[in-house]
Amino acid sequence: MESIAENSLMQEIVVDYLNNNLRLQTKHLTYGDGTTGSYRLKDNLSKFINNYFRSIKDVKPKEIVVSSGKEGSAKTSGQDFHARSRYEEIKSRRYSGLLTLYRANAVPVSFGSIDPFSVEALHCYEQELVNFNKEHPDARIRAILLANPHNPLGRCYPRETLVEYLKFCEKYDIHLIADEIYAMSIFKTSSNHGAVQFHSVLSIDMDKIVNPRRVHVLYGMSKDFSSNGLRLGLVISRNRQLVEAMSSITIFSWPSAPADLAWCIMLEDTAFLEYYISEHQKRLGEGYEFLTGILDNLGVDYARGCNAGFFVWADLSFALEKPVDGSEPGLAEDMRLDQKLIQNGVHLAAGLGYQAEKPGWFRITFSQPRPLLLKGLAKMMKLLKGVDIEIPGVIPVSYHKTGLADSTYSSSRSSPDPLFVRKYSM
């Protein structure tokens, strides 16, 4: 089982499409238009963002800086530029794995029993910010990093909460960095009809709320386009000084021209793009229901109401060792459970990497071939509960009928519109 949030559900379709449509020219072996992405790509990205993110004010190509990924996700270098260009302290929550790439200090925020997606959560931020600035007068908080949709919780922030974040940033003279890399990885299931849908901060009219120069959006190709290996990420900002500062150091993370071209042709092909996003979201919903159905049958609890991303936030605290002094399990027991899983061939993303407030929580990625997922779950239950599970017995009933349990995702799993087939099978 994989700990990384890599999506294999649509890879065959992407590969088939690129093999049929990607044609390199000599200019793609040159330095091209410079270090911040081709003019063609930035023009296509502005149209894509304006359409699918429902930008209230059109994003312009000159407000986009494209870079290649280096460490972690495809947008990492964009984050690195952002940090080195502007910020000293980043205030964020739960996703320390992302924050360490900023080469800036992170201040985690605890919520206790408060819903982290609620307006009330801003009180936790405010208390932490005031206390930190008082105790560290030479290193005050500069920004909030918000992952929306959230990783690893798989939920989206309500519009009213996003508005309060913008007001908060204006009040305290700080910036909002919105990581929206899972923007198109939203899905519907029979159990999440009431889940909050994705709202980009770009879809909010900021003029009377916050100076737009304070708001910056991160996006990338790796997640929504099933292409971790193509390494393209971007920063959207209406802060001209920040864009210029990032552009001055993009030579260290120059985007690849072939990768640039690959994204261009997908974004320009509206028929393919509409089919791709629709099918992508459909398969995510199937994958989520498949995994959660198995976890239900196994008696493993998990965070409910998810509708975004590739993962389920699962509670494995039942397997934590009990401290010899009789106290509650903590970080040490969390780390031991993580190592126990890894040593036995089950690599999940441990909650300790996300500043989880309770030990024993792990992120399980469902966007993997189902035979691999089932094998990993069987090994996990053998290790944690000492039981051999019968795979057919834990698979949701609906999947026995369709035969999906034994299938892997491929470009032939769902048939697109016949016109699409004729166009791209030539």
- Asked if residues 410 and 8 have their Cβ atoms less than 8 Å apart, the reply is no
The pLDDT of residue 137 is 85
- What's the rounded mean pLDDT across residues 36-40? 96
Is it the case that residue 215 has pLDDT exceeding 60? yes
- Range scoring the smallest mean pLDDT among 193-197, 315-319, 412-416: 412-416
Report residue 71 CA to chain centroid gap.
15
Among 3-7, 97-101, 161-165, 332-336, where is mean pLDDT lowest? 97-101
Under the banding of pLDDT at 50, 70 and 90, the label for residue 406 is very low
pLDDT at position 195, please?
95
Read off the pLDDT of each residue in 158-179 and give the average, rounded to a whole number.
Answer: 96
Is 69 in a helix, a strand, or coil?
A: coil
**What is 31-268's CATH number, 3.30.70.20, 3.40.50.11540, 3.40.190.10, 3.40.640.10?**
3.40.640.10
- What is the pLDDT at residue 2? 60
The confidence score (pLDDT) of residue 400 equals: 56
Mean of the pLDDT values across residues 71-87?
41
Selected residue with higher pLDDT from 184 and 108: 184
How far, in Å, are 319, 320, 337, 355 from residue 361 at the CA level?
10, 10, 10, 11
For residues 13-35, give the mean pLDDT: 94
% of the chain with per-residue pLDDT over 70: 83
Q: Measuring CA to CA, which residue among 215, 90, 216 is closest to residue 141?
A: 90
181 φ/ψ angles, rounded to the nearest 5 degrees = -70, -20
Mean pLDDT of 124-130: 92
Mean pLDDT of the chain: 85
Residue 405 pLDDT more than 60?
Answer: no
Does the pLDDT at position 415 exceed 70?
A: no
E strands along 40-132, which residues? 64-67, 89-92, 105-108
Whether 313 has a pLDDT exceeding 90, the answer reads: yes
pLDDT computed for residue 354 by the predictor: 86
Give the bridge partners for 179, in sequence order: 147, 218
- pLDDT exceeds cutoff 70 at 92: no
What is the spatial distance between Cα 339 and Cα 350, in angstroms, rounded to a whole number? 10
Q: CA angle, 268 as apex, 265 and 269 as ends, to 5°?
A: 85
Region 58-68 average pLDDT: 96
Structural tokens at position 80: 């690195």
Reported residue count of the chain is: 426
Band of pLDDT at residue 38, cut at 50, 70 and 90? very high
Residues 6 or more apart whose CB falls under 8 angstroms from that of 325 comprise none
Q: How would residue 104 be classed by pLDDT, with cut points 50, 70 and 90? A: low
Comparison of pLDDT for 166 and 395, the residue scoring more? 166
Confidence at residue 56, expressed as pLDDT on a 0 to 100 scale: 96
* pLDDT score, position 5: 83
Q: What is the pLDDT of residues 217-276, one digit of tens each?
A: 999 999 999 999 999 999 999 999 999 999 998 888 899 999 999 999 999 999 999 999
Task: Please report, rounded to a whole number, the percentage of residues in the chain having pLDDT higher than 90.
Answer: 65
Q: What is the pLDDT of residue 3?
A: 67
Domain 273-406, classified CATH 3.40.50.720, yes or no: no
Domain boundaries, the chain: 31-268, 273-406
Q: Which of 81-90, 221-230, 361-370 has the lowest mean pLDDT?
A: 81-90
pLDDT of amino acid 352: 85
Contacts 24+ apart (CB under 8 A), 286-289: 286/404, 287/9, 287/366, 287/367, 288/187, 288/189, 288/312, 288/366, 289/189, 289/190, 289/191, 289/396
pLDDT tens digits, residue range 372-384?
899 899 999 999 9
| pLDDT over 70 (residue 408) | no
What is the model's pLDDT at position 139? 83
Q: Which residues of 131-141 are buried (b: 16+ CB within 10 A; e: fewer)?
A: ebeeeeeeebb
